[in-house]
Amino acid sequence: MLKAQKLTLAVLVNAALISSAYASEQSEAKGFVEGASASVLLRNGFIQRDKKDGVHDTNSWLQSVMLNLESGFTQGPVGFAAGVVGDFSFKLGDNYHAGNSMIALKNDGQKDANGRVDPYDQWTRGGGYVKARASNTTLTYGTQILDLPVLASMTTRNVPEYFEGTLITSHEIKNLEVVAGKFTKNQLPEHIASDQNHLDRAYVWGAKYQFNDQLKAAYYGADLKDKLERHYANVNYKQTLANKDSLTYDFSGYHTKFEPGTTYSATGPANEDKKNNIWAVSATYNTGPHTAMLAYQQNTGNVGYDYGQNGDGGQSIYLPNSYLSDFIGNHEKSVQLQYTYDFADLAVPGLSWTTAYVYGWDIRVNNLTDDAKEREFFNQVSYKVQTGPAKDLNIRVRNSIYRASDEYQTNAYIGDTNEWRIFVDFPIKFF
């Protein structure tokens, strides 16, 4: 593994030294002040999980302000830049029954009469970063929001998940992006401390390449010390049909090997290496305002797929069958039918509706069954204001109705739940 990491870094260094096949990003640098940008995102978020079978509900409601301040790159052969990311949040309502990775909870051992942990009234998080760029290769060090299939920050809550470390991103060859990095801290959206998820060390590497307008592919790997080793691959092909219709085929999959003693949400086999393979294929047809997708997803190995708890990112699941449930049980097979309608065709631009149904079966639950099942009915309406003083205000309302067989209930997974999520986003750009 170490040889692979050294080879990836060597490729990045050499790429930065050779002549670029197209215009250099650094040659277009505007200057430290001239290229600066600053914005905030105001987000009001509400998640209600109506639990069944006597399990306590979990509801979370809060207001957040997220800051993104970044300088431009200095001019010259090597450019330098700096930035700050951060967020301030305060709870709305008592939120004693909070959870859902939304509300920061106190770790003082105090609980109310119902055993609920006291939440913070308000909290602030964030950090800074610096960048250096030569040609089309950029090194970033500090607090970052990652978007890598094997190390992806959770961004589906009010505030994002942060990682702290170093990431090199190179575009020296046209249509090719190569990345390599090392991260040593991980902070989930509900965490106060910068390394509350106890990440020791994570190496990441990978590349994605656009062959032409129709075909693209990607590979990424991650090695988390004493936790896991993970590999991801993806191939995507878009076929253009008559009348601007299209049919897109996608294959993606992960191979994960968990280290002994790894924290794992589902009980694995005793005295055995824990391994998982999960892959999915999908076909998506688009015609005018209508988009329909059919997807099939399958697990093999002796445990299900797992993410987030080991510092590997709460959104590191780049697979289609992922809503409230991610359909990642041991040996689980699942199929999905999804439909999206764009109301721009009815003279309401910015409004869309997505509905999906996912059914999973053949789930192995240790000592209980090899044939547990789960299903989810999902709906989301999203609207972005197109003009006026509230331009870019975005409202998302989603609902999931989730049910599972008795053997795959709360002790093994999330349990029967009706969930609502409402997010209102208003971005403000200062410069």
pLDDT digits (tens, 9 = 90+) for 344-364: 999 999 999 999 999 999 999
Instruction: Provide the whole-model pTM.
Output: 0.92
Instruction: With cut-offs at 50, 70 and 90, classify the pLDDT of residue 95.
Output: confident
The residue that leads in pLDDT, 107 or 338, is 338
Question: Which residues of 149-263 form beta strands (DSSP E)?
Answer: 151-152, 162-170, 176-187, 202-210, 215-224, 228-240, 246-258
| pLDDT above 90 for 8 | no
Tokens of 289: 């305002």
Eight-class DSSP state of 9: H
Quick one: average pLDDT of 209-223? Answer: 98
Token digits of residue 371: 């044939």
Per-residue pLDDT for 5 more than 60? no
What pLDDT score does 19 carry? 43
Residue labelled with tokens 């590191």: 316
* Beta bridge mates, 181: 167, 204
Q: What is the pLDDT of residue 273?
A: 82
Using CB atoms within 10 Å of the CB of residue 424, give its burial: 0 to 12 exposed, 13 to 18 middle, 19+ buried.
Answer: middle
Q: How many CB atoms lie within 10 A of CB 122?
A: 11
Tokens 């998080």 belong to: 125
Length of the chain: 431
> How far from 30 is each of 81, 184, 236, 392, CA to CA, in Å?
11, 32, 35, 27
User: Can you tell me the distance from the alpha carbon of 389 to that of 45, in angstroms, rounded to the nearest whole number?
Assistant: 21
CA angle 337, 340, 342 (to 5 degrees): 170
Contacts of 307 (CB under 8 A, 6+ apart): 313, 314, 315, 316, 317
pLDDT score of 211: 98
| Confidence check: pLDDT of 41 > 60 | yes
pLDDT at 9 over 60: no
d(CA 313, CA 321): 18
Give me the pLDDT at residue 6, please. 54
User: What is the rounded average pLDDT for all residues in the chain?
Assistant: 91
pLDDT at residue 190 tops 60: yes
The residues facing 108 across adjacent strands are: none
pLDDT at position 409: 85
Residue 179 has pLDDT above 60, yes or no: yes
Position 269 confidence tier, pLDDT thresholds 50, 70, 90: low
Between 71 and 11, where is the model more confident? 71
Find residue 44's DSSP bridge partners.
Answer: 63, 424
pLDDT, residue 264, reads: 60
Q: For residue 152, what pLDDT is reported?
A: 97
Q: What is the pLDDT of residue 22?
A: 64
Task: Examine the pLDDT at 306 and tell me if it is beyond 80.
Answer: yes
Predicted local confidence at residue 310, as pLDDT: 87
- Closest by Cα among 154, 126, 158, 155 to 142: 126
CA atoms within 13 A on the CB side of 117: 12
Let me know: does 100 contact 46? Beta carbons within 8 Å: no
Q: Which residues fall within 8 angstroms of residue 407, CB to CB, at 6 or more apart?
A: 365, 368, 369, 372
